[in-house]
Amino acid sequence: MADPRTIGRYQILHPIGQGGMGTVYLAEDPLLKRRVAIKVVRVTGAARHQATLRFRREAEISAQLNHPNLVTVFDVGVEEDLGPFLAMEYVEGKSLGRHIKDRDLDTETSARVLIQAMRALRAAHRRAIVHRDVKPDNILLSEEGRAKLMDFGIARTLGHMSLSPEQSLDLAPVGEDGAALAQTLALRLTSSGDFLGSPAYAPPEVLRGGEGTPASDRYSFAATAFELLTGKLPHPGGGLTEIILHILQEPVAIPADLPPGMAAVFKRALAADPDDRHTTLPEFMEELIDALPGPVSMRARLFTFLGQDEDGTGSVSMTRFRQAEPAPAEGSGAHDARVRRTAPVKITLAEDPVETYLTTRKPARREPRTGGTDWTQVLKWIVLAFLVLQLFWWLAPALSHVQF
């Protein structure tokens, strides 16, 4: 089909993305004079109704959260000739999935992206909203360096699961072996459309039919972090069936060159049992930053950034960072003997003043003394008393002749 010239009130400029079910266009809002991205899903019948419900849900969640690290949704509607559409904030940049393929982000930048995406996901969890599809392709990175979490179309609200008409997968028959289970699940995931989300980043409890929870979102976030920092999926495979089988039956595949500290963090974050994982996203990020290879100054900057306000632009009165001793030589067997020290650092700027504060700290300004005798004040009172006495002696003769 030819690209439309208009969708709703929006003037279409050109397509910027193409998928199996729809297209994303760059458009201009003639009313508000701004550029927007418009997602169109070309479906009919019941599928069109479901897509419309998801778009509306995404718009409602965007309005509720209104977070700087979330893609803002402006409008939702249906075009008869095209299908449901979603007008949202245009982020000039590319997805984290593309950055992973290009391998163009260094360790510190990658950690900053994760911190920002964590803020957005945490804001959703505070409102009892489960994303259910956290993955690199759903995190955009603008050219200015701001990360944006997107695609809440399949999100659910805890306690209001009936808002979503989709049903989770049923458990496989008892006695079915692992390979057959994985093959059955893979077939259903790719053909029936029952499963919403990305299986490669889904935890085992969701693949087996459980509801999405904040713990499952944290698993998907950790899987995204794993791929961003290692370039590999935590559960590899030549196809969807192999990946699902690995998630259901095998522990996370740790690369041989991954530092032991990072390996331990990811083993916990990607544990099969949700109770064995980190209980909060900040806890995961703290441990991950502490385990990152690199200079102490880099980790100090990241801990400062992690401790800033939720929107990443404000400042806080106090934060902390962990400082480790230099890593021992390879083969020394002493990598677990690192000594961690905690130091409070006063933050007054949104940038990274930690390192400057530690190295160029100015002497504290001396305050005036408040204790002891102030002889200046004593002298003033003596002079004042002397003047009063002189005035009295001058006026005394005149006052003696005055009769009252």
Residue for token digits 């603008």? 142
Degrees, nearest 5: CA angle 366-370-373: 125
Who contacts 325 (Cβ-Cβ below 8 Å, separation ≥6)? 338, 339
The long-range contacts involving 1-7, CB below 8 angstroms and separated by at least 24 positions, are 1/42, 4/79, 4/81, 4/82, 7/38, 7/40, 7/79, 7/82, 7/85, 7/87
Backbone angles phi, psi at 205, to 5 degrees: -65, -30
Structure tokens at 272: 């099969």
Who contacts 232 (Cβ-Cβ below 8 Å, separation ≥6)? 226, 253, 255
Any catalytic annotation for residue 290? no
Q: In what order do the strands lie in the sheet with 22-29?
A: 6-7, 10-18, 22-29, 34-41, 83-89, 73-79
CB 320 within 8 A of CB 343: yes
CB 278 within 8 A of CB 268: yes
CB 284 within 8 A of CB 278: yes
Dihedral of alpha carbons 207, 261, 279, 114, sign: negative
Neighbour count for residue 337 (Cβ, 10 Å): 9
Active site residue: 133, 151, 217, 352, which one? 133
Residue for token digits 């002079």? 383
Helix, strand, coil percent values for the chain (each to nearest 5) = 45, 15, 40
Active site residues: 133
